[in-house]
Amino acid sequence: MNRVRELIPYFRRYRGRLISGLTSILLSVALGLLTPIVVGRAVDTFVEDPSRRTLLTYAGLLVGITLVQGIFIFLQRLLLVTMSRNIEFDLRNEYFAHLEKLPLSFYQRNYTGDLMARGTNDLQAVRMLCGPAIMYSANTLFTATGALFFMFRIHAGLALLALFTLPLVAVATKVFGQRIHRLFQKVQEQFSAISTNVQENLAGGRVVRAYAQEEAELLRFEKLNTEYVERNRRLIRWTAAFHPLLHGLVGLGFVAVLWYGGGLVARGVITVGQFVTFTFFLSRLVWPMIAIGWVINLVQRGSASLGRILEVLDTVPEIRDEPPLVDGEHIRGAITLDNLSFAWEVDGQPVLSQIDLEVEAGKTVAIVGRTGAGKSTLLSLIPRLADPPEASVFVDGIDVRRFPLTDLRSAVAAVPQETFLFSSTLGENIALGRPEASRSELEAAALAAGLGEEMEGFSNGLDTLVGERGITLSGGQKQRVALARALLKDSPVLLLDDCLSAVDTHTEEQILSNLREIFEERTVLLVSHRISTVKEADLIMVLDEGRVAERGRHDDLVREDGIYADLHHRQLLEEELAAV
């Protein structure tokens, strides 16, 4: 419940709508409380003067009150529900924006389905807390206060008798409210598990089918779904028991009022009209008593969901701008690694150890080594996708931690080992880093990346839809789209992480031929397992278990008869065997 206070800044943002909405509730309740008074007066007047005119006068007054009350009810819903939608809009934007700032390590610890559930299902529960819960809470408070005031004015003893069940209502509300909160939190956690399962099955549909695991995955989903239903049933049992209990307690109050109030009328202590007015006010108290349960249900659900959303929003990005910062708009691309050591976890096993490297702007450095040597990790440290230790990675002689992240990453174009394409057109995927690029620039980048023949084969060229994650393209085509995306960005630093591994050697040679002129204008760090890809580099660095084992040009390293030479001879043998 304490977390609900964190919504106060959002309410302040829309305080105009909030105040106007609460004012509309107050006025609609005030008009509603006039109805019992008018009815009571009508009864007493009709007893003394049972004329048609008396009936019409009071009937007309009631119609007028009801019409005006209807206007304020409309306004309160319009204002407060709109406010809740605006807060939902703001929270959703902030949630997504914050997710964009969080480092890769956060996504390694959290499931995509769970994060999606927090941004959809949980956000819906928070909206109900910000709109309907406030609206019905205010209505309940104003109605109860007004009704009790008039009930005590009519007869204090009768009013106290009517309220004897309130302590029982308070106890029931506390007990049931706490239980509902815990149960709803468990329901939301299970919904996250289902979302994660569905997301993984949709993304990995090919693997599931290739291994004939449809039945196994269906059973797994049914198990998760069954648990979700069971948790909802437990929640429903408690909420279902709560409302009848409240109705029963309210009914006891009615029985007591009818018994004692009837005696007061018989003895002439109060008039028939006053008794009618009192029972009307008591009936108005029924809604607040029942609404308490519904509102508490909304508040408990909303606070549980808000806690799950704030759990993400309160996560401080590990990688962020930390003043003092320097201007990074004119980065040339010289890269220096100074005794760089890095581990993914504090006090964990180092992935990289004591790496030293000087790369002049416009030079190409290739990084080779066996799987797990730390090649991809090294590339990720330059644009701070992972955060390097201070004073260990420099661009143009300046520690990368001193550049604004936006400037640093704008100066780097990267093609990661795992290609990701969005479910849009080929052209939109290539233009990711430069949405304003012209069509001719897109075509030039695609041609440089070796996509010329593919574009001719696509019926819509650059306007061809590639499907989710580029499912309509082959592995080699996806890699070339990612390469074209990086080339179009035209950044001074180009990081290529085994970006041609799915391309045949003939196509690779054509692409590398296209790239030689482009490489001369940029600083390139090129990771590859293929010697044919790296042999033209200005410098080749061989990593082994996170350390620099060898460095030099291709011919020199082949003569050294070390790790690089071994890789070279193995690949030559593979090519000879393939040619037989």
Distance CA 567, CA 542 (A): 11
Distance CA 215, CA 209 (A): 10
pLDDT confidence of residue 306: 92
Residue 2 — pLDDT band, cuts 50, 70, 90?
low
**Span 296-313, average pLDDT:** 88
DSSP string computed for 216-266: HHHHHHHHHHHHHHHHHHHHHHHHHHHHHHHHHHHHHHHHHHHHHHHHHHH
Range with the lowest mean pLDDT among 304-308, 330-334, 488-492, 576-580? Answer: 576-580
pLDDT confidence of residue 206: 66
pLDDT confidence of residue 492: 94
pLDDT confidence of residue 290: 66
Instruction: Write out the E strands in 416-517.
Output: 493-497
pLDDT confidence of residue 277: 87
- Going from the C-alpha of 472 to that of each of 20, 26, 435, 465, the distances in angstroms are 53, 59, 23, 8
pLDDT confidence of residue 404: 93
Place of tokens 């620039």: 441
Range with the lowest mean pLDDT among 294-303, 420-429, 477-486, 534-543? Answer: 294-303
pLDDT confidence of residue 274: 86
pLDDT confidence of residue 83: 96
Domains of the chain: 2-313 (1.20.1560.10), 319-411+492-580 (3.40.50.300), 421-490 (3.40.50.300)
Distance CA 480, CA 499 (A): 8
Q: Taking a C-beta distance cutoff of 8 angstroms, is the pair 95, 309 a contact?
A: yes
Has residue 392 got a pLDDT over 90? yes
Q: How many CB atoms lie within 10 A of CB 183?
A: 22
Residue 431 — pLDDT band, cuts 50, 70, 90?
very high
Residue 266 — pLDDT band, cuts 50, 70, 90?
confident
pTM: 0.75
What confidence tens digit (pLDDT) does each residue in 149-197 have? Answer: 998 998 888 888 888 777 777 677 777 877 887 888 888 888 888 888 8
3-state helix, strand, coil in the chain (%, to 5): 70, 10, 25
Buried b (16+ CB within 10 A) or exposed e, 366-379: bbbbeeebbbbbbb
What confidence tens digit (pLDDT) does each residue in 22-71 have? Answer: 999 999 999 999 988 888 888 888 777 777 777 788 889 999 999 999 99
Has residue 1 got a pLDDT over 60? no
Q: Which of 397, 288, 250 has its CA nearest to residue 336?
A: 397
pLDDT confidence of residue 578: 64
pLDDT confidence of residue 297: 78
Distance CA 288, CA 295 (A): 10
Q: Which of 286, 283, 16, 21 has its CA nearest to residue 133?
A: 21
Out of 94-108, 461-475, 510-524, 536-550, the most confident range is: 536-550
pLDDT confidence of residue 579: 61
Place of tokens 């100066």: 411
Distance CA 341, CA 392 (A): 8
Percentage of residues in the chain having pLDDT higher than 90: 39
Has residue 282 got a pLDDT over 60? yes
CA atoms within 13 A on the CB side of 314: 8
Mean pLDDT estimate for the chain: 87
Angle made by CA atoms 288, 292, 298, in degrees to the nearest 5: 135
Torsion of CA 200, 201, 204, 207, to 10 degrees: 140
Range with the lowest mean pLDDT among 171-180, 396-405, 468-477? Answer: 171-180
CA atoms within 13 A on the CB side of 439: 4
Distance CA 24, CA 19 (A): 9
Out of 204-208, 327-331, 411-415, the most confident range is: 411-415
Cross-strand pairs, 494:
413, 524
pLDDT confidence of residue 130: 93
